[in-house]
Amino acid sequence: MPETCRIGVLGGTFDPIHAGHLAAAGAVADRLGLDRVIFVPSGQPWMKAAPPQAGPADRLRMVELAIVQDPRFEVSRVDVDRPGPTYAVDTMADLRASHDRQSPGQQVDWHFIVGVDALAGFMQWREPSRLLTMTRLVAVTRPGHARPVVPLPADAVDFIAVPPVDVSSTRIRALVAEGRSITGLVAPAVEHYISAHGLYRASRSPGHQAAGDRP
């Protein structure tokens, strides 16, 4: 029998991917002994107040550039390739089906990682009960956001304190639009990509607040 594999999934708009995402994924991988963490950039994030500023190809590429720092990190394009709004239940169904095709018979412990800000809206996600049949949830701390009260079975979610990295994609977009530095907030290759492709230079949605992600 093949060994059970432990896989984390971190969905997000990644507009752009930043140090907070990478720190959270690494800390969860360390704590839970994950073999892999799959970053899944969203297609159309239904919970955001505004559509992503960067297109899916740019957001995907920035994730590819950022994740080279950790051999456990991977990226999947299942959500950018699926038309319509991105729902976590579809993400997990697609990732599980893809894994079953590639590694038939291998057991997987799936861990769907969310910030506590995103977990707060969990009961409004599409088919939350079905999602919980496909994966455990891992809720990570995030500066400025309290642990929410969500009516979930105690064994459905692990709360994990990760090193606080007080950054959001919203802030990074605003800094770029103001012509200010984002050094240290994103991976150097991502900083270079943003600059080389002129991303975020004009702020399209000044009212957009960090609001979590992922139905």
- Of 20 and 98, CB closest to ligand ATP: 20
The interface with ligand ATP within residues 114-173 (CB under 6 A) comprises 114-115, 117-118, 140, 142, 165, 167-170
C-alpha–C-alpha distance, residues 210 and 72, integer Å: 27
Q: Mask: binding to ligand ATP, 24-43, rule CB under 6 A, as x and -?
A: x-------------------
Positions in 63-122 near ligand ATP (CB under 6 A): 114-115, 117-118
CA angle 168, 6, 105 (to 5 degrees): 135
Q: Which residue is nearest to ligand ATP (CB)?
A: 115
Among 110, 200, 210, 215, binds ligand ATP (CB under 6 A): 210
> The sheet that has 108-115: what strands, in order across it?
73-75, 36-41, 5-12, 108-115, 136-140, 157-160
Q: Which is nearer to ligand ATP, 144 or 188 (CB)?
A: 144
Q: Which stretch binds ligand ATP (CB under 6 A): 11-19, 94-102, 126-134, 191-199?
A: 11-19
Taken in order 80, 60, 48, 203, the sign of the CA dihedral is negative
State yes or no: cis peptide before 16, omega within 30 of 0: yes
Looking up tokens 């994966």, which residue turns up? Answer: 135
Contacting residue, 8, 9, 14, 186, with ligand ATP by CB under 6 A: 14
The residue from 20, 56, 128, 215 that contacts ligand ATP (CB under 6 A) is 20
Q: How many residues does the chain have?
A: 215
Q: Which two tokens stand for residue 166?
A: 């007080």
Q: Interface with ligand ATP by CB under 6 A: which range of 19-27, 100-108, 149-157, 198-206? A: 19-27
- For residue 94, the surrounding DSSP H or E stretch is helix 88-102
CA of 110: how far to CAs of 4, 96, 126, 137, 180, in Å?
10, 9, 18, 8, 39
Least separation, in Å, of the C-beta of 211 and ligand ATP? 5
Does residue number 53 form part of the binding site for ligand ATP (CB under 6 A)? Answer: no
What is the contact surface with ligand ATP in residues (CB under 6 A)?
12-15, 20-21, 24, 114-115, 117-118, 140, 142, 165, 167-170, 210-214
